[in-house]
């Protein structure tokens, strides 16, 4: 068993990041996060967590709760297929390491309510009836009177996730920066009150081009149904790409197009070889290429780009019990670190008799 060393035993930094179990990931999730997580494995000790308890903060029905397990399975398959190595990195499900909830409770004692009330994600969630901002990943809004305690405490649980493993670096998107700021404030306060215990975690911003969805208007997102799932079949991918919006001014096949305002072109830039992208540009502005043809080519490029990931995914999916085994192994390794931290926190906070 490759034992996991946290900051004390190794000079590699410790990365922690998490995703809520939303099911199958799409190209935006891949380019915006997952691809980066894979790369970070060569420079850091990485801990990647499927945060199912966080998912509960916004789940309102038993039917939604029944989706958690299949969603965890699908997300884990995407992670593994993308190249998250469960021997190198610790890959696990949040609720399998219940120590995080202990730490959450204890951290809540050093977190002023006013800090939580000014977190923008919470403010956006309760701002009923407004258009969802791109930064809100989940475009449901909550009646202010019905906001649960768990949702308010969301960033405290997130802080517990990170510092339970004394992670120092947290790869996240811009939308998570306020949560990381809060995590740092909680850590400072804890360390001040009870003695130096936790490193202040740093956000590591993932630099990615904005990936617009097939509507060409909004960030690619599952809730807007403008996405392409990593695990989609090549046929499904082609079918969806053919629905993509293009240059709205290009009404007839004989009209020259404007690739610079067309999202299909920007997707070519990401997924097609450079020579092909140059041809797309030339043939679009001269009306040599029609949009349907252009989209078929794009679908081909995306399918080539994802072929290996999709093969691996199917291979993992065919192995009975594989995902569950991986996650159990990850939880076991995570718990070793988690228990150690909780012991230390108990001691610091005066919960241990002498």
Give the Cα separation of 181 and 283 in Å (integer): 48
Q: Which is nearer to ligand TRP, 84 or 170 (CB)?
A: 170
Q: Which is nearer to ligand SF4, 74 or 277 (CB)?
A: 277
Q: Which is nearer to ligand TRP, 33 or 345 (CB)?
A: 33
Which among ligand SF4, ligand TRP, none contacts residue 32 (Cβ within 5 to 8 A by kind)? none
Per rule CB under 6 A, is residue 294 in the interface with ligand SF4? yes
Q: Which is nearer to ligand SF4, 64 or 255 (CB)?
A: 255
Catalogue the E-assigned strands of 234-284. Answer: none
Count of residues making up the chain: 354
Give the Cα separation of 287 and 296 in Å (integer): 16
Q: Which is nearer to ligand SF4, 228 or 294 (CB)?
A: 294
Which among ligand TRP, ligand SF4, none contacts residue 170 (Cβ within 5 to 8 A by kind)? ligand TRP
Q: How far is the CB of 280 from ligand SF4 (least distance, A)?
A: 6
Q: Find out whether 266 and 284 touch, Cβ atoms under 8 Å.
A: no
Handedness of CA 105, 109, 113, 118 (dihedral sign): negative
Q: Which of 14, 28, 30, 54 binds ligand TRP (CB under 6 A)?
A: 54
Q: Find out whether 35 and 79 touch, Cβ atoms under 8 Å.
A: no
Over the Cα atoms of the chain, what is R_g? 22
Per rule CB under 6 A, is residue 240 in the interface with ligand SF4? no
In three-state secondary structure terms, 258 is coil
Say which residues have a Cβ less than 8 Å from residue 297's Cβ, sequence separation at least 6: 268, 272, 276, 280
Per rule CB under 6 A, is residue 136 in the interface with ligand TRP? no
Name the site residues for ligand SF4 (rule: CB under 6 A): 246-247, 250, 257, 259, 262, 264-265, 280, 284, 289, 291, 294-295
């Amino acid at each position: 068993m490759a034992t996991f060393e946290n900051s004390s035993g190794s000079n590699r930094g410790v990365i922690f990041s998490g995703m809520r179990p939303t099911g199958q990931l799409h190209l935006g999730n891949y380019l915006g996060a997952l691809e980066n997580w894979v790369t970070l494995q060569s420079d850091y000790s990485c801990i990647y967590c499927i945060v199912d308890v966080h998912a509960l903060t916004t789940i309102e029905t038993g039917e939604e709760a029944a989706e958690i397990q299949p969603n965890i399975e699908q997300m884990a398959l995407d992670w593994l297929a993308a190249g998250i190595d469960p021997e190198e990195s610790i890959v696990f499900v949040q609720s399998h390491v219940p120590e995080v909830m202990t730490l959450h409770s204890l951290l809540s004692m050093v977190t002023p309510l006013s800090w939580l009330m000014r977190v923008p994600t919470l403010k956006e969630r309760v701002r009923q009836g407004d258009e969802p901002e791109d930064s809100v990943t989940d475009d449901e809004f909550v009646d202010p009177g019905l906001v649960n305690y768990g949702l308010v405490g969301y960033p405290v649980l997130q802080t517990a996730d990170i510092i339970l493993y004394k992670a120092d670096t947290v790869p996240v998107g811009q939308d998570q920066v306020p949560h990381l700021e809060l995590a740092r404030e909680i850590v400072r306060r804890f360390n001040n009150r009870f003695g130096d215990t936790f490193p202040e975690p740093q956000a590591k911003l993932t630099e990615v081009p904005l990936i617009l969805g097939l509507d060409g208007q909004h960030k690619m997102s599952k809730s807007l149904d403008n996405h392409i799932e990593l695990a989609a079949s090549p046929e499904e991918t082609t079918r969806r790409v053919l629905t993509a919006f293009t240059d709205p001014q290009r009404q007839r096949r004989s009209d020259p197009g404007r690739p610079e305002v067309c999202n299909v072109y920007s997707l070519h830039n990401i997924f097609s070889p450079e020579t092909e992208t140059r041809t797309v540009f030339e043939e679009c502005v001269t009306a040599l290429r029609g949009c349907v043809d252009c989209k078929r080519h794009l679908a081909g490029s995306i399918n080539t780009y994802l072929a290996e990931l999709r093969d691996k995914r199917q291979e993992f999916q065919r192995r009975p019990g594989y995902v569950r085994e991986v996650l159990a192994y990850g939880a076991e390794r995570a718990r070793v670190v988690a228990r150690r931290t909780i012991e230390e926190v108990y001691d610091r906070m005066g919960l241990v008799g002498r």
